[in-house]
Amino acid sequence: MGRVRDSIGGCDPSCRDLAPSCMGSPGGSPGKFRENKMEDDEDGLGSSISENSINTQFMSQAEKRAHHNALERKRRDHIKDSFHSLRDSVPALQGEKVSRAQILKKAADYISFMRRKNHGHQQDIDDLKKQNAILEQQIRALEKAKSTGQFANSQSAVVPGFEVAGGSESESSLDLEGDPGPGRRKKLKTSD
């Protein structure tokens, strides 16, 4: 094998496929190997799959170590950035310098808090939907009573919770503005 290397010397392009190890050998420069591979691409002889296999097959131990170190550094940087992003997503930790364990604990606490809060909001939504359904049913009953002429005759007996004011219009006796007490309903709070 040494004889083949010696006879090729400076890696004559015509012998490149016979002895690619001279380009990636510890004695050869990695830059020259890449330069020669670019020449292959220009000639249309090389393919990306074969380049990668030749590249890794003939890399020196130092090159392999450097490549591994670069990949590991990239992985660690990604983890670090992800922890910073997680830290900044938790209101109690924004801009704080805390350990990764604290970030995970506070993030888990915040997730639990938000789940409870969302559950409470969902219950409020369900209650308001039920109230809307009841109110829509009462409106339909009042409209039906008004159209049939029963509205003026039966007054508040038509729909429980409604009183007749002046004999022709109705007004809700339900207090949707105040705090919900027994028999009272919640008001939907909207942010304006």
Query: Considering only CA atoms, which of 15, 7, 5 is closest in space to residue 40?
Result: 15
pTM: 0.45
Residue 187 lies in a domain: no
Q: Which residues of 128-167 are buried (b: 16+ CB within 10 A; e: fewer)?
A: eeebeeeeeebeebbeebeeeeebeeeeeebbeebebeee
- The token duo for 20 is 């690619």
Q: For residue 48, name the pLDDT band (cuts at 50, 70, 90).
A: low
Tell me how far apart the alpha carbons of residues 1 and 168 are, in angstroms, rounded to a whole number.
Answer: 110
Res 174: pLDDT: 43
Residue 131 lies in a domain: yes
Residue 66 lies in a domain: no
Residue 156 lies in a domain: yes
State the Cα angle at 172 between 170 and 174, rounded to 5°.
Answer: 165
Distances (CA, A) of 10 to 5, 66, 125, 192: 9, 25, 78, 77
> What domain count does the chain have?
2
Residue 121 lies in a domain: yes
Q: How many CB atoms lie within 10 A of CB 80?
A: 11
Asked whether the predicted pLDDT for residue 9 surpasses 90, the reply is no
- pLDDT, tens digit, 9 for 90 and up, residues 59-79: 788 999 999 999 999 999 999
Q: For residue 94, name the pLDDT band (cuts at 50, 70, 90).
A: confident
Res 59: pLDDT: 76
Asked whether the predicted pLDDT for residue 175 surpasses 80, the reply is no
What is the domain range of residue 28?
Answer: 1-59
Residue 38 lies in a domain: yes
Residue 164 lies in a domain: yes
Asked whether the predicted pLDDT for residue 162 surpasses 70, the reply is no
Residue 46 lies in a domain: yes
